[in-house]
């Protein structure tokens, strides 16, 4: 597979035969499995798109033609073909190759991405720019059937008009979980119909040889195709629809794309692929091989270990047994958010709405208005898509909705598009919203018990991964924090998992200072009494939170001090006002001076 590391494969493949390209695809698959098994990363989506990527690069010149990869977790084959195969040993590691397209990484990458469904909007912007410039390059958005069901993608398609651009719909019938939604069903219908026609026509192939019959059959076939095209969702939006075609047949891909690429308007090419293609375990359980840690490629990955997500899922399933009004909602993330058991146990009370975070929240608002108690579980970074719905539909009406905010804080290898470091900043100012940041598995369970009887909007934000050393399984009371350790010289407030860091800091400094440690528990409402008492005593307060500095928990404490006209020395440990790169979470914390050692050092100097 060494030849994969040769220079400019994207150019080389333009002159290769189909047979050679097929061999290349085989090598790329082996390369992907071998490398991702060592570094972790996205696997199934990349295995599914090898041939399509080869076909695209054998037709287009990505130094001027722009391929916009939606989500971007399927861009590994593209990276291999554009001079980055030699960097795969550094994939998703600090300062190493990104797991997503990055314009700073290669001239072949044209748009940074990580969230879903941005590709058509971005591509349309680029196409309009091209047309204003009077240029002729191709603009191609490659988007999955899960992502195309998102509102942003729809808004973009609705706005394309007559603009010349190509959408490649990479249809594998999957988001990360099995895909849902009516559009997805419609796509399946299209596939089924054409397969039918193709089968019919295969039988008749021999008759084709007879000239007149051939022409008749051709006409019939065209008529059929025309009909299918006319009935398409996409033609109603003004697209020419082509397909579906086999996304693992390089010849068919090349021929079709070449045939239609100069169509003078918007065209959608429907390509059927198989997620995990060519790797048995990933084909069978693509959701297990969507995003993986290091693994042994010879044995199947076992299901996930206990983490915050699974604790949330189990506990919710548990309380839903008694409270029949509880319903759960996820946005194409049943597994990732730990809701599989809930779904299995209460199928009628479980709603996977697809990659549709905005709808998830307003849908929940409707359920709540009608007397139900929805729990929506989303990743911190994806809840950003539903900020308005949280403000306008849920909090303004003060509805009985709980949001589980998973992957809060640093997430590690997925990097800047996925770190959940803004949520406290975009949540704390929303009226009527209560926010809990549990500091342990047990406290997360208690937070769900609290949620069970609470009737206003509630956000519970918790990190990716496993538990720290600190344990607290006391029952939660609205707006009550907990003094974990008494002290006189300094008060440190830890938010969520950062309470563990606060306790480590105390360990490092305990011989020099008598530190009071508070577990915030509630970010909002603040436990003003407890906190004011503590900080008045010590006259010095530090906050440690895994959120951006501006607008986070620290700001609430500064407001509290201001409101009370106090003179208190304050020090906030939070993330800088930057987009944080990818890398191991522990390493990033050190680099950002947010590990216990760095914090202890800073405090020592500050005191």
CB 169 within 8 A of CB 145: yes
Q: Which of residues 94-133 bind a copy of itself (CB under 8 A)?
A: 103, 110-115, 118, 121-130, 132-133
Q: Which of 274, 315, 343, 357 is catalytic?
A: 357
Diameter over CA atoms, the chain: 98
Query: According to CB under 8 A, which residues from 166 to 225 bind a copy of itself?
Result: 180-183, 185-186
143 vs 311, beta carbon nearer a copy of itself: 143
Task: Output 340 or 434, the one with its CB closest to a copy of itself.
Answer: 434
Q: DSSP string covering 348-360, please? A: GGEEE--S-HHHH
Q: What is the DSSP letter of 83?
A: I
Q: Judged by CB under 8 A, does residue 152 bind a copy of itself?
A: yes
For 481-516, what is the HEC assignment?
Answer: CEEEECCCCEEEEECCCHHHHHHHHHHHHCCCCCEE
Q: Which of 22, 387, 449, 590 binds a copy of itself (CB under 8 A)?
A: 387
Beta-carbon count within 10 A of 204 CB: 14
* Cβ nearer to a copy of itself, comparing 271 with 556: 556
Q: Does 385 bind a copy of itself (CB under 8 A)?
A: yes
Is 522 a residue that touches a copy of itself (CB under 8 A)?
Answer: no
Taking CB under 8 A as the rule, does residue 63 contact a copy of itself? no
Please list, in sequence order, all residues whose beta carbon lies within 8 angstroms of the beta carbon of residue 267, skipping any fewer than 6 positions away. Answer: 165, 166, 167, 239, 240, 241, 242, 260
357 catalytic per annotation: yes
Q: Which is nearer to a copy of itself, 430 or 508 (CB)?
A: 430
Q: List, in order, residues 6 or more apart from 250 with CB less than 8 Å away.
A: 18, 21, 22, 25, 51, 54, 55, 58
Return the CA Rg of the chain.
27
Map tokens 């596939």 to a residue.
191
Contacts of 139 (CB under 8 A, 6+ apart): 65, 66, 68, 123, 126, 127, 130, 164, 165, 166
Taking the C-alpha atoms of residue 222 and residue 551, their distance in angstroms, rounded to an integer, is: 60
Shorter beta-carbon distance to a copy of itself: residue 276 or 354: 354
> CB 361 → a copy of itself: shortest distance, Å?
8
Under the criterion CB under 8 A, does residue 495 sit at the interface with a copy of itself?
A: no
- Residue at token pair 């609290």: 450
Q: Which is nearer to a copy of itself, 216 or 578 (CB)?
A: 578
Tell me the C-alpha to C-alpha distance, in Å, between residue 107 and each of 67, 82, 146, 166: 11, 9, 28, 20
Q: Which span sits near a copy of itself by CB under 8 A: 45-53, 76-84, 148-156, 195-203?
A: 148-156
**Minimum distance from CB of 396 to a copy of itself (Å)?**
5
> Minimum distance from CB of 114 to a copy of itself (Å)?
7
What residues from 322 to 341 belong to the interface with a copy of itself (CB under 8 A)? 327
Give catalytic status of residue 385 as yes or no.
yes
Strands 326-330 and 515-519, sheet pairing: unpaired
Is the Cβ–Cβ distance between 268 and 169 less than 8 Å?
yes
Residue 150 binds to a copy of itself (criterion: CB under 8 A): yes
Considering CB under 8 A, how many residues would be counted as binding a copy of itself? 111
Q: Which of these, 502, 497, 523, lies nearest to 443 by C-alpha position?
A: 497
Which residues inside 403-462 make contact with a copy of itself, applying CB under 8 A?
416-417, 422, 425-426, 428-432
Please report whether residue 559 would count as binding a copy of itself according to CB under 8 A: yes
Pick one of 136, 222, 366, 466: the residue that binds a copy of itself (CB under 8 A): 366
155 catalytic, yes or no? no
Which residue among 385, 482, 497, 524 is the active-site one? 385
- Is 369 one of the binding residues for a copy of itself (CB under 8 A)? yes
* Least distance to a copy of itself, CB of residue 389, Å: 7
CB of 87 to a copy of itself, least distance (A): 21
Q: Does 579 engage in binding with a copy of itself (CB under 8 A)?
A: yes
> Nearest approach, Cβ of 382 to a copy of itself (angstroms)?
8
Rounded (10°) CA dihedral 70, 74, 77, 80: 80
* Contact (Cβ atoms closer than 8 angstroms) between residue 556 and residue 428: yes
Using CB under 8 A as the binding rule, whether residue 12 contacts a copy of itself is answered as no
Determine which residue in the list 356, 377, 458, 544 makes contact with a copy of itself, applying CB under 8 A.
Answer: 356
Give the whole-angstrom CA distance, residue 111 versus residue 100: 10
Rounded to a whole number of angstroms, the minimum distance from the CB of residue 552 to a copy of itself is: 8
Catalytic residues: 275, 357, 385
């Amino acid at each position: 597979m060494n030849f994969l590391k040769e220079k400019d494969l994207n150019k080389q493949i333009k002159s290769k035969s189909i047979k050679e390209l097929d061999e290349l695809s085989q090598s790329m698959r082996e390369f992907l499995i071998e490398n991702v098994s060592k570094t972790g990363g996205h696997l199934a989506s990349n295995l599914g798109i090898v041939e399509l990527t080869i076909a695209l690069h054998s037709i287009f010149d990505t130094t001027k033609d722009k391929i916009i990869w939606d989500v971007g977790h399927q861009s590994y084959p593209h990276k291999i073909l554009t001079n980055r195969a030699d960097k795969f040993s550094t994939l998703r590691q600090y300062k190493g190759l990104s797991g997503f397209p990055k314009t700073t990484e290669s001239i072949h990458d044209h748009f940074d991405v990580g969230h879903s469904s941005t590709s058509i909007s971005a591509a349309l912007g680029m196409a309009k720019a091209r047309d204003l410039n009077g240029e002729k390059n191709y603009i191609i958005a490659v988007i999955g059937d899960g992502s195309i069901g998102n509102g942003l993608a729809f808004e973009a398609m609705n706005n394309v008009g007559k603009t010349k651009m190509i959408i490649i719909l990479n249809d594998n019938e999957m988001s990360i979980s099995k895909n849902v939604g009516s559009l997805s069903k419609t796509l399946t219908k299209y596939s089924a119909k054409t397969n039918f026609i193709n089968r019919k026509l295969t039988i008749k192939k021999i008759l084709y040889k007879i000239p007149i019959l051939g022409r008749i059959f051709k006409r019939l076939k065209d008529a059929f195709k025309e009909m299918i095209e006319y009935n398409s969702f996409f033609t109603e939006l003004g697209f020419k629809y082509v397909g579906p075609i086999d996304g693992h047949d390089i010849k068919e891909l090349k021929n079709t794309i070449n045939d239609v690429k100069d169509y003078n308007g918007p065209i959608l090419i429907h390509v059927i692929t198989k997620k995990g293609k060519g790797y048995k375990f990933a084909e069978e359980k693509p959701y297990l091989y969507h995003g993986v840690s290091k693994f042994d490629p010879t044995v199947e990955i076992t299901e996930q270990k206990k983490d915050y997500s699974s604790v949330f899922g189990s506990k919710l399933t548990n309380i839903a047994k008694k409270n029949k009004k509880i319903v759960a909602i996820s946005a194409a993330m049943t597994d990732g958010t730990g809701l599989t058991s809930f779904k299995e146990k209460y199928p009628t009370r479980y709603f996977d709405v697809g990659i549709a975070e905005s709808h998830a929240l307003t849908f929940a608002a409707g359920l709540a208005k009608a007397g139900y108690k929805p729990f929506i579980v989303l990743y911190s970074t994806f809840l950003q898509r539903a900020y308005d719905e949280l403000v306008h539909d849920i909090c303004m009406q003060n509805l009985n909705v709980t949001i589980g905010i998973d992957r809060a804080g640093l997430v590690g290898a997925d990097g800047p598009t996925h770190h959940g470091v803004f949520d406290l900043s975009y949540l704390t100012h929303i009226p009527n919203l209560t926010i809990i940041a549990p500091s342990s598995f047990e406290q997360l369970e208690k937070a769900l018990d609290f949620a069970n009887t609470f009737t206003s909007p509630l956000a519970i934000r918790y990190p990716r991964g496993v538990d720290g050393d600190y344990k607290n399984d006391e029952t939660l009371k609205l707006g009550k924090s907990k003094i974990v350790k008494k002290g006189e010289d300094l008060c440190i407030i830890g938010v969520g998992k950062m309470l563990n860091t606060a306790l480590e800091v105390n360990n490092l400094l305990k011989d020099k200072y008598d530190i009071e440690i508070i577990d915030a528990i509630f970010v909002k409402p603040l436990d003003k009494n407890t906190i004011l008492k503590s900080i008045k005593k010590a006259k010095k307060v530090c906050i440690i939170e895994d959120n951006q500095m501006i607008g986070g928990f620290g700001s609430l404490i500064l407001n509290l001090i201001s409101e009370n006209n106090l003179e208190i020395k304050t020090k906030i440990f939070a993330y800088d006002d930057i987009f944080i790169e990818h890398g191991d979470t522990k390493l990033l914390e050190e680099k950002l001076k947010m590990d216990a050692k760095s914090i202890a050092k800073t405090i020592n100097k500050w005191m």
